[in-house]
Amino acid sequence: MSSPLRIGVLAEARYLIQNQPTGLSNELINQGHDVSLIDPQKEFYRMGDDDWFAGLDVIVGRGRSWALLGLLGWAERSGTLTINRQSAIAAVHNKAQMSIALAGSGLPIPETYFATIEQLAQSIPAENYPIILKPIFGDNSRGLLVVNSPAEMAATDWPEPVALAQRYFKTDGYDLKLYGIGDQIWAVRKVSPFNATAEMDKSKEGLALATPELEDLGRRCGQLFGLDLFGVDCIETDTGVLIIEINDYPNYTNVPAANERLAEYVVAQTQKL
């Protein structure tokens, strides 16, 4: 192995009980690298004082808080390599910005709208219901609401000035997730948080066939936003696979040897410098 690297793992506390970034951190330590865990909300930072990231070869970030995004941008301004970059995380955190980019790129997405609740109730055709409402800065499925008719939409008490509204499709109870590490793509089927029933057979979850078409779809999503580590939430419909949204640095559930693959990628990117 080449000389050990100094790697900062910048992660919100809520993620430290999940598979990632703990799995990556442990694997990097096992490989002999020096890993520093940085909680963006546990330290005191003075503008202009770069000591908190001095000497790090790379910072791997997991989270979307303003504190984390601010620290990533700070490190990047001083030339430190970051995975993912602050701009890439911010682009998919803002669901309106993400949807505009997806639609503009020609990637397949459900019909999607952006407006106030009143405008949505007046403008979305009745035949396009049900509709799922999403907060612009939603996270981990928080704040999602399925609306079944224009009248129900008009009566909705939405907590934000505007909402992202997307046509909602019933499925077989499973969603398709594309996981990306650089150009490598894996397909995984997972029980849907909305279409699942008590009778769902969770044994059907797991690694699925990543066809050339799915691999191309995943790569195009990562490249569109400049993401190194990402997940693409999809649904399978009668007309084909549709992209629901994209997330930065997921848990890589059911991806074989995910920790090793993540560590390999981080080290390789650092050695390119």
Note the helical H segments in 52-125.
66-77, 86-93, 95-105, 117-123
* Alpha-carbon torsion, ordered 64, 67, 70, 72, to 10 deg: -60
pLDDT band (50, 70, 90) for residue 25: very high
pLDDT band (50, 70, 90) for residue 194: low
Per cent of the chain over pLDDT 90 is: 84
pLDDT band (50, 70, 90) for residue 139: confident
pLDDT band (50, 70, 90) for residue 178: very high
Instruction: State mean pLDDT over 82-90.
Output: 97
- Chain segment 52-67, per-residue pLDDT in tens: 999 999 999 999 999 9
Query: Which of 12-21, 85-94, 97-106, 196-205 has the weakest average pLDDT?
Result: 196-205
pLDDT band (50, 70, 90) for residue 203: low
Please check whether residue 83 is in contact with residue 229, taking contact to mean a CB–CB distance below 8 angstroms: yes
Whether 141 has a pLDDT exceeding 80, the answer reads: no
Residues whose CB is less than 8 angstroms from the CB of residue 130 and which lie 6 or more positions away in sequence, other chains included: 146, 147, 148, 167, 168
Per cent of the chain over pLDDT 70 is: 96
Whether 157 has a pLDDT exceeding 60, the answer reads: yes
Considering the entire predicted model, what is its pTM? 0.93
3-state class (DSSP) for residue 20: helix
Name the nearest CA neighbour of 185 among 163, 211, 206, 156: 211
Beta bridge pairs of residue 241: 236
pLDDT band (50, 70, 90) for residue 142: confident
CB neighbourhood size of 253 (10 A): 17
d(CA 86, CA 53) in angstroms, rounded, equals: 15
pLDDT band (50, 70, 90) for residue 172: confident
DSSP line for 120-165: HHHHS-GGG--EEEE-TT--TTTT-EEE-SHHHHHT---SSS-EEE
